[in-house]
Amino acid sequence: MTRTLVEVASEAAVCTRCRLAQGRTQVVFGQVNAGADLLFIGEAPGFHEDKQGEPFVGAAGNLLNRMLGEIGLARDEVSVVNVIKCRPPGNRDPQPDEIEACTPWLVEQISLIQPKVIVTLGNFATKYVLNTATGITRLRGQMHDWHGRSVIPTFHPAAILHGGGEKSRQFELLREDFELVRRTLAAPVAQAQIQAQAQAQVQTDEPSIDQLELF
């Protein structure tokens, strides 16, 4: 029987599938909104997220909220999750076995949320979801077909804040990407084309969420 997001979240809250369980304050399951068409996927909780139990709080979260506002959306109208649900110590990169252990939570989240558009925030989430070694600078700005859904990669808000902020070229590009998100959400016809193309996709041998049964 299909579980609800609330049931999955309460099971995830006591997860001990990897070593990150030892150092966390709490599992950051994510802000999940089953009715939302738009899902953001980040990397992993940081210091503040670990303390507060919510994804993308603090400065990066404020920038995300601001960009959402620019396309007419409030934060509580979307879903926001991370690939990894527990904070890696010192914000180090997640390790392959931690990613593998955490992947079923993300798969279940996507299956239950059924988003129309997924925005991957930054290099880590983009490479993982799209199963590619290509970097964010080349992948952003376009819509990618993935299991019948639209994936739009963009820069991680924290990278914008650390790399020049509002005056940077990256910030302009972030704005453009959010505009693409707005247009994609408003275009029901495009979805049928994406579904047809997605069926023709070829999978690679690299480990990634792409190889799991999602739907």
Please select the residue that binds ligand URA; options are 42, 88, 94, 115, rule is CB under 6 A. 42
| In contact, 174 and 67? CB cutoff 8 Å | yes
Look up residue 144 and give its DSSP letter: E
Distance of CA 125 to the CA centre of its chain: 6
The least CB distance from residue 104 to ligand URA, in Å, is: 19
How far is CA 145 from each of CA 152, 192, 212, rounded to the nearest angstrom? 9, 11, 16
The sheet carrying 38-42 orders its strands as 79-82, 38-42, 117-121, 149-154, 144-146
Nearer to ligand URA, 82 or 184 (CB): 82
Please select the residue that binds ligand URA; options are 60, 86, 136, 185, rule is CB under 6 A. 60
The C-alpha atoms of residue 129 and residue 81 are separated, in whole angstroms, by 13
The least CB distance from residue 158 to ligand URA, in Å, is: 6
The least CB distance from residue 125 to ligand URA, in Å, is: 7
Nearer to ligand URA, 15 or 194 (CB): 15
Please select the residue that binds ligand URA; options are 12, 40, 43, 144, rule is CB under 6 A. 43
Which residues lie closer than 8 Å to 81 by C-beta, 6 or more apart? Answer: 29, 30, 31, 32, 39, 40, 41, 42, 55, 106, 109
Give the x/- contact pattern for ligand URA in 80-119, rule: CB under 6 A. Answer: --x-------------------------------------
The least CB distance from residue 185 to ligand URA, in Å, is: 22
Binding site for ligand URA (CB under 6 A): 42-46, 49, 55-56, 60, 82, 158
